[in-house]
Amino acid sequence: MKSYRQLIAETNQLNHFTEAPASGVEGDYEGEMARSELKSLIANAKALLTMIAQDSEIQAWQQSKITKAADYISAVHNDMVASTVPDAP
């Protein structure tokens, strides 16, 4: 199992954005930004899993934020899955 410091180092590596394309083409980077945020989310979630034992007591506001984050990610996932499913004939 990775240490907390290793997970933080991975998070810091994942939190950077790549440079704009060399062609000079400007554009929106929603996909790139979303992927970077998701990588950070994964690293932070892994770190939290190592920090919180199954029988741990955490503060109510911490549980609330974890629940809200899970709900938001689930909502985006469900919407993206639904948008890729073709309509019934």
Tens-place pLDDT, residues 18-64: 444 444 556 678 999 999 999 999 999 999 999 999 999 999 999 99
Asked if residue 89 is part of any domain, the answer here is no
Residue 7 neighbours by CB distance under 10 Å: 21
Total domains present in the chain: 1
Asked if residue 57 is part of any domain, the answer here is yes
CB neighbours of 10 closer than 8 A, spacing ≥ 6?
2, 43
Asked if residue 49 is part of any domain, the answer here is yes
Cα(38)–Cα(83) distance, integer angstroms: 20
Asked if residue 53 is part of any domain, the answer here is yes
Tens-place pLDDT, residues 66-75: 999 999 999 9
Asked if residue 31 is part of any domain, the answer here is yes
Q: What is the DSSP letter of 19?
A: P
